[in-house]
Amino acid sequence: MKAPIIEIFSSFQGEGLLIGQRQIFVRFAGCNLNCNYCDTGDSKSEKSGVLMTPQEVTDEINKIVTPDCKAISFTGGEPSLYPEFISEVSKNFDLDIMLETNGTLPDNIDLIDELDLVSLDIKLPEHFDGDFDEEIFLNEIKSLNLLISKSINVYCKVVILPSTKIKSFKEVVEKLSENISNKSDLKIIIQPSSPLGEWKDINFKLFEFSEVVGQYFDVSTIPQIHKILDIE
């Protein structure tokens, strides 16, 4: 068994609920989507990665793990393309296992063992240059309900762009509210796209987005801290 790996590195988690926590990141190559805001464009193609075995990845993690490291984060690209590989690596560690995913492959996510936390991106129409495929959102819903039913900690991250419209954002949040099995188990992270200098009137917009989500879910607004710190 092999999977294409872009990089394995140690850093602080720069997004979401575990922001500031030291983690080992395993970045896979290959993605089933083509989001226009992607900040790891080199990971979209499987050809960008180096084929590695689970044991080789395990060995690399062991070389860089430190006492302050609390979790291994599988990211990409789209890591859920490689569920068996993630399970094979994860069984070698006592660290928490985190998955950073677009949530569009619920059947694959269901195959991953040992998951402790999932950061699931909710896609908006503005995230794509072409027409928005409704199937993307439906699969994200399936993944969320699956994870909640398995009592796996999961939160949603929604990247907002300067072009994101309140109307379309509200429609997505309302649909999310209508289709999630247990809303009290879900937290939404609003993440303004980087760099923040591209925004005008960002404070005003962020308050509006937060108020929309707050009608249905627990919400926080958190930028990409690793960009501010200028670290990977």
Which domain covers residue 213, as residue numbers? 3-229
- Per-residue model confidence as pLDDT tens digits over 157-168: 999 888 888 998
What are the E-state strand segments in the chain? Answer: 3-12, 22-28, 50-52, 71-75, 96-101, 117-121, 153-160, 187-192, 218-221
- Per-residue model confidence as pLDDT tens digits over 176-213: 999 998 877 799 999 987 766 666 666 668 899 999 99
Tell me what the mean pLDDT of segment 82-109 comes to: 97
The confidence score (pLDDT) of residue 181 equals 83
Q: CA distances (Å), 200 to each of 72, 158, 162, 194, in order?
A: 36, 19, 8, 13
Please provide the average confidence, as pLDDT, over all residues in the chain: 90
Is the Cβ–Cβ distance between 161 and 193 less than 8 Å? Answer: yes
- Per-residue model confidence as pLDDT tens digits over 42-92: 777 788 899 999 999 999 999 999 999 999 999 999 999 999 999 999 999
Tokens representing residue 152 in the block:
């796996």
| Pairing state between β 50-52 and 3-12 | antiparallel
pLDDT band at 223 (very low <50, low <70, confident <90, very high): confident
Rounded Cα distance between 212 and 171, Å, is 10
- Per-residue model confidence as pLDDT tens digits over 122-151: 998 888 787 778 899 999 999 999 999 999
**CATH value at residue 170:** 3.20.20.70
Of 133, 223, 218, which is closest to residue 180 (Cα–Cα)? 218
Query: What share of the chain in percent tops pLDDT 70?
Result: 91
Task: Name residue, tokens 């195959």.
Answer: 111
Q: CA distances (Å), 36 to each of 29, 60, 83, in order?
A: 17, 31, 25
pLDDT band at 36 (very low <50, low <70, confident <90, very high): confident
The confidence score (pLDDT) of residue 134 equals 87
Tell me what the mean pLDDT of segment 22-47 comes to: 83
What total number of domains does the chain contain? 1
The model's pTM is: 0.90
Rounded Cα distance between 214 and 188, Å, is 9
Tell me what the mean pLDDT of segment 24-42 comes to: 83
Give DSSP secondary structure letters for 152-217. -EEEEEEEE-TT--HHHHHHHHHHHHHH-S-GGG-EEEEEEPSPGGG-SSHHHHHHHHHHHHHTTS
Query: How many CA atoms within 13 Å lie on the side-chain side of 167?
Result: 0
Strand partners, 191: 159
Judged against a pLDDT cut of 70, whether residue 231 lies above it is answered with: no
The confidence score (pLDDT) of residue 184 equals 78
Q: Cα-flanking dihedrals φ and ψ of residue 9, to 5°?
A: -150, 165
